[in-house]
Amino acid sequence: MKKGSIWVFLAIISFAVGIFACFKNSFAQDSTMTAEKLVAEHLKALGNPTVVSELQSRVLNGLAAVKFIQGATGNIPGGQFLLVSDRRRVGLVMLFGTREYPKEYIAYDGNKVTVAHI
């Protein structure tokens, strides 16, 4: 970088910092945010409280990958991930489709945890 370019870069950065310092308080909507207000706003963003309270189960799915860092080396990309919950019960399955490490299973039935490498 040329010497003149450095000064231009520093001038732009100084200007941006100055603008931010002047206007940072104007972007704050509520400077008295409490934990209770934060939780209330989060719950409101989830949707209608009546509908949300009636929901009992959730299902998430997506991609999974594993990276071996102890006892083995390598990684397995491109697996499938499934998380299912029903009140206090939770199940997690990761499918990798390899002979060496085909699946992983973790569940909680409300009382005990089950973990199995299948």
User: CA end-to-end span of the chain, whole Å?
Assistant: 56
Same domain as 60, residue 45: no
> What's the whole-number average pLDDT of the chain?
81
Q: How confident is the model at residue 41 (pLDDT cuts 50, 70, 90)?
A: confident
Q: Partners of 93 in the beta sheet?
A: 82, 105
Sorted by sequence, the CB contacts under 8 Å of residue 109 that are 6+ apart come out as: 89
- Express each pLDDT in 64-107 by its tens digit: 998 888 887 888 888 999 999 988 899 999 999 888 888 989 99
Which position has the token pair 């963003």? 45
Same domain as 61, residue 46: no
Which residue range forms the structural domain that includes residue 42? Answer: 3-51
Same domain as 60, residue 36: no
How many separate domains does the chain show? 2
